[in-house]
């Protein structure tokens, strides 16, 4: 079975400090990978997605970046955090099912980031 890990679980960082959040997936190969941000316990905002190693698509211009150095590893980074970067960051992996190319996504446990 597939599992998805994120770390750290919580993080408190000062404004202007760097950021690195990591996501790894087990039990599947060549997954699509996604980073979402959730503010105030509501909607999910897609930040980045990747269909393969080194392939990153950015959805929202911001001071964050993403990288995929290995097939099942996805990293979210920032050189200098802003207060507005606080939120709940979710990694997800996606797959097509055998039913007419339907697509499903499965989420990790999330990282709670507080920028002070």
Rank residues 22 and 112 by Cβ distance to other proteins and give the closer one: 112
* Ramachandran angles phi, psi of 108, nearest 5°: -85, 180
Rank residues 26 and 82 by Cβ distance to other proteins and give the closer one: 26
How many Cα atoms sit within 13 Å of 11 on the Cβ side?
23
Stretch that binds other proteins, among 11-19, 61-69, 78-86, 94-102 (CB under 8 A): 94-102
Q: What is the C-alpha separation between 11 and 25, in angstroms, rounded?
A: 21
Binding-site member from 58, 71, 86, 110 for other proteins (CB under 8 A): 110
Indicate whether 96 belongs to the interface with other proteins (CB under 8 A).
yes
Site for other proteins, rule CB under 8 A: 32, 41-44, 46, 49, 51, 90, 92, 94, 96-97, 99-110, 112
């Amino acid at each position: 079975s597939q599992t998805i890990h994120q770390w750290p679980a919580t993080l408190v960082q000062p404004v202007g400090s760097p950021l690195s959040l990591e996501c790894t997936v087990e039990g599947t190969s060549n997954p699509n990978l996604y980073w979402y941000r959730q503010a105030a316990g509501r909607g999910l905002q897609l930040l980045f997605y990747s269909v393969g190693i080194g392939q990153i698509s950015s959805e929202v211009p911001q001071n964050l970046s993403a990288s995929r150095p290995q097939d099942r590893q996805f990293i979210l980074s920032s050189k200098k955090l802003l207060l507005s970067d606080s939120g709940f960051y979710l990694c997800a992996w996606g797959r097509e099912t055998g039913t007419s190319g339907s697509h499903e996504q499965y989420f990790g446990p999330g990282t709670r980031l507080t920028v002070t």
